[in-house]
Structure 1
Amino acid sequence: MSNTYLPKPATSSSVDNALYLLQLVGEHQALRVSEAADLLGIGRSTAHRLFAALRERGFVMQDKPNGAYRPGPALNEIGLAAIGRIDIRRVARPILETLRDETQETSSLVLLEGRTVRFIDCVESPRSVRVGSRTGLVLPAHCTASGKAILATLPPADLKRRYSGQQLPACTPQSMTQWKALEQEFAQIRQAGFGLNVEESENGISAVGAAVRDLIGAPLAGVAIAVPASRMSTRESGRAHAPAVVRAAQAIQALLRNEL
Structure 2
Amino acid sequence: MVSAVKKSVPDGADGAGAKPPQYPIESVDNALKILLLFGERSEVRLTDVSDHLGVASSTAHRMLAMLLYRGFVRQDARTKIYRPGTALTGVAYSILQRFDFRAELHPFLERLNGELRESVHLGLLDGTVVRFIDAIESPQAVRVASRLGMSLLATSTSTGKAILAQMSQAEVHSLFPDEELEGLTDNSLRSRTELDRQLALVRKRGYAVSSEESEPGVSSVAVAFAPNRAPARLAFNVALPTSRMSKQDQARIGAILLGVVQEAGAALHG
What TM-score range do you get, normalising by the shorter chain? 0.7 to 0.9
Q: Which residue matches 2:9?
A: 4
Quick one: distance in 2 between partners of 1:119 and 1:15?
34
The number of equivalent residue pairs is 249
3-state SS of paired residue (1:241)? helix
Q: Rg larger in 1 or in 2?
A: 2
Over aligned residue pairs, what C-alpha RMSD do you find? 3.4
Preserved contact between residue 124 and residue 232 of structure 2 (Cα < 8 Å):
no
3-state SS of paired residue (2:160)? helix
Preserved contact between residue 213 and residue 219 of structure 1 (Cα < 8 Å):
no
**1:47 lines up with 2:64 in the alignment:** yes
Q: Would you identify which runs of 4 or more consecutive aligned residues in structure 1 move more than 4 Å?
A: 8-11, 13-17, 60-66, 74-81, 216-219
Name whichever of 216-225 and 204-213 sits farther off. Answer: 216-225
Q: List gaps (5 residues or longer) in structure 1.
A: none
Q: Which residue matches 1:68?
A: 82
| From 174, 177, 195, the counterpart of 1:161 | 174
Q: Which residue matches 1:93?
A: 106
Preserved contact between residue 141 and residue 147 of structure 1 (Cα < 8 Å):
yes
Quick one: distance in 1 between partners of 2:168 and 2:260?
24
Amino acid at match of 1:240: R
Quick one: distance in 2 between partners of 1:235 and 1:197?
12
Q: Which residue matches 1:242?
A: 254
Scaled by the length of structure 1, the TM-score of the pair is 0.80
Quick one: distance in 2 between partners of 1:64 and 1:177?
22
Quick one: distance in 2 between partners of 1:139 and 1:164?
18
**Aligned residue runs from structure 1 range 1-260, under 5 A:** 3-7=8-12, 12=25, 15-27=28-40, 30-33=43-46, 35-36=48-49, 39=53, 41=55, 42=59, 44-53=61-70, 55=72, 66-70=80-84, 72-74=88-90, 76=92, 87-215=100-228, 220-232=233-245, 234-258=246-270
Preserved contact between residue 197 and residue 235 of structure 1 (Cα < 8 Å):
no
Q: Deviations over 1:119-177 (max 9, x none)?
A: 11111111121112211111111111111111111112101211221222221111122
Quick one: distance in 2 between partners of 1:140 and 1:27?
22
In the TM superposition, residue 94 of structure 1 has moved relative to its aligned partner by 0.8
CA 1:255–1:52 in structure 2 vs 1: closer, same or farther (change >3 Å)? farther
Q: List gaps (5 residues or longer) in structure 2.
A: 1-7, 13-19
Scaled by the length of structure 2, the TM-score of the pair is 0.77
Quick one: distance in 2 between partners of 1:140 and 1:63?
18
CA 1:216–1:224 in structure 2 vs 1: closer, same or farther (change >3 Å)? closer
